[in-house]
Structure 1
Amino acid sequence: MPKKLKNLSTAPTTDLRLLRTRRALRDGLLSLITKIPFDEITVRDIAAESLVGYNTFFRHYASKAELVDEIVSEEIEQLFVRALPAIVGEDTYTTALALCNYINEHRALWTALLGGGDAQLGGGASAYLRRKFIAYALAHDVRAPQHEWLPMDVGTIFGVGSVLDILSWWLSKPGEYSVERVAELIDRLVLAPTLGRTPDYGTAPSARGKKK
């Protein structure tokens, strides 16, 4: 009985250490992506940047790819939660605004994932994110009213790719465009047309955002 009590008392501590280590590895990789080409990053680099032992890394992840997959999967789920209202409703601008607000709140992370428009990444992380995002949408059978002439999978591929391109462009120009302005661009150029909606912004350009 005392032995069982001892195990119970140490379990929360062990879980906390595990979470701290995984968080350190995640942050270490994201930090490295902003410094060196994604494809050149090694597990030793991640361990050193995270101040975690090399062997410790493999107690949590089998490879760099598994760590990246976890990060990307978590972020994709977060974005889809925010994109769902546009798929089932009519207000595509509000959805675009929610997406942009989330990206802005996690700007450092998404700049790393999308490369912030920086060719230094060689498309590594950005291309991987795009493939995962499209695969997630297709696998979860995300459907929305579209034009009769537009195949569902083509609309998904175009929509996801275009939104990520706009976000990458925005992240490469910090401070130049407001969240509202970028949300309007995503709505006008991608969401509303692809989903067969007609947004009303009035006659003035950039009616939603005052900043550029």
Structure 2
Amino acid sequence: MRSGTALREALLRLLERRAFEQITVRDICAEAGVHYATFFRHHASKEALLDHVAADQMARLVELTMPIKESGDDRRAILVLCRYVEDHRVLWSVLLNGGAGATMRAEWLRYTRQVTGAANPDSWLPSELGTICTTSLIVETISWWLRQEKDAWPPDPIADIIHRLVTTSIASRGPIER
């Protein structure tokens, strides 16, 4: 267990200094103080380790935002999410725009499906499609934001953009005839 934690923390420290593509399994092991063979007892590859980090980050976002969302304050939940991403910008840039992009998007959608409430039967948008669209709006907006210059967009306006995108595009407008 300690080795697994050491490997995750080592990868995060290395990501602050270098691009994911420039990091080797040997680099991670050296940073973690773990033998090379130990790495492969925990992970099949450095990509698998990054996938594990992605899942950990999604769990952390859910932990931070769900109590706020459950209180009905979606805007504040989005703001907390954006501030967390900003505080961990290097990691999130790698997770969304680097080697774990596809995994991160799938993980985000999986978590969203888990925490989404009951479908609104009067909504014009099928529940599953609404979940996919909402998740995509959030993820792709954050991904875009992380590709911008560091101080070009602070978290607060990004949270406003996301909130407006989600509420104006997904808000109920009545059923669609089939």
| TM-score, normalisation: structure 2 | 0.75
Q: Are the equivalent residues in 2 in contact too, given 1:130–1:164 (CA < 8 A)?
A: yes
Which residue pairs with 1:113 in the alignment?
95
Amino acid at match of 1:126: G
Which residue pairs with 1:148 in the alignment?
123
- CA distance in structure 2 between the partners assigned to 1:24 and 1:51 by the alignment: 8
CA spacing shift, 1:67–1:74, aligned 2, 3 Å: same
Q: Are the equivalent residues in 2 in contact too, given 1:114–1:129 (CA < 8 A)?
A: yes
Q: Are the equivalent residues in 2 in contact too, given 1:83–1:96 (CA < 8 A)?
A: yes
- CA distance in structure 2 between the partners assigned to 1:79 and 1:144 by the alignment: 21
Say whether residues 1:60 and 2:42 are aligned partners.
yes
In structure 2, the residue corresponding to 1:74 is in which secondary structure? helix
Q: Which has the higher contact order (CA 8 A, sep 6+)?
A: 2
Which residue pairs with 1:170 in the alignment?
145
Say whether residues 1:22 and 2:4 are aligned partners.
yes
What is the CA-CA distance between 1:163 and the residue it aligns to? 0.8
Percent same amino acid among aligned pairs? 36
Aligned-pair RMSD on alpha carbons? 2.9
Superposed structure 1 runs of 4+ greater than 6 Å apart: none
Q: Find the partner of 2:111 among 136, 142, 148.
A: 136
Matches within 5 A, 1:1-212: 18-19=1-2, 21-30=3-12, 31=14, 34-37=18-21, 43-44=25-26, 46-48=28-30, 50-84=32-66, 87-115=69-97, 121=98, 124-138=99-113, 140=114, 142-143=116-117, 148-173=123-148, 174-190=150-166, 192-193=167-168, 196=171
CA spacing shift, 1:141–1:90, aligned 2, 3 Å: closer
Which residue pairs with 2:175 in the alignment?
none
What is the CA-CA distance between 1:57 and the residue it aligns to? 0.8
Q: Are the equivalent residues in 2 in contact too, given 1:145–1:196 (CA < 8 A)?
A: no
In structure 1, the residue corresponding to 2:100 is in which secondary structure? helix
Q: What is the aligned residue count?
A: 168
Which residue pairs with 1:12 in the alignment?
none
Give the structure with higher Rg (CA): 1
Range 159-168 or range 64-73, more displaced: 64-73
Q: Are the equivalent residues in 2 in contact too, given 1:101–1:179 (CA < 8 A)?
A: yes
Q: Structure 2 stretches of 5 or more lacking a match?
A: 173-178
Report Cα offsets for 1:104-158 as digits up to 9, x if no partner.
222221122112xxxxx4xx411110012112322x2522665611111111111
Q: Are the equivalent residues in 1 in contact too, given 2:54–2:100 (CA < 8 A)?
A: no
- CA distance in structure 1 between the partners assigned to 2:68 and 2:118 by the alignment: 9
Report Cα offsets for 1:5-45 as digits up to 9, x if no partner.
xxxxxxxxxxxxx53x43442244343595254xx966445
Q: Are the equivalent residues in 2 in contact too, given 1:100–1:183 (CA < 8 A)?
A: yes
Q: Are the equivalent residues in 2 in contact too, given 1:85–1:91 (CA < 8 A)?
A: no
Q: Are the equivalent residues in 1 in contact too, given 2:20–2:94 (CA < 8 A)?
A: no
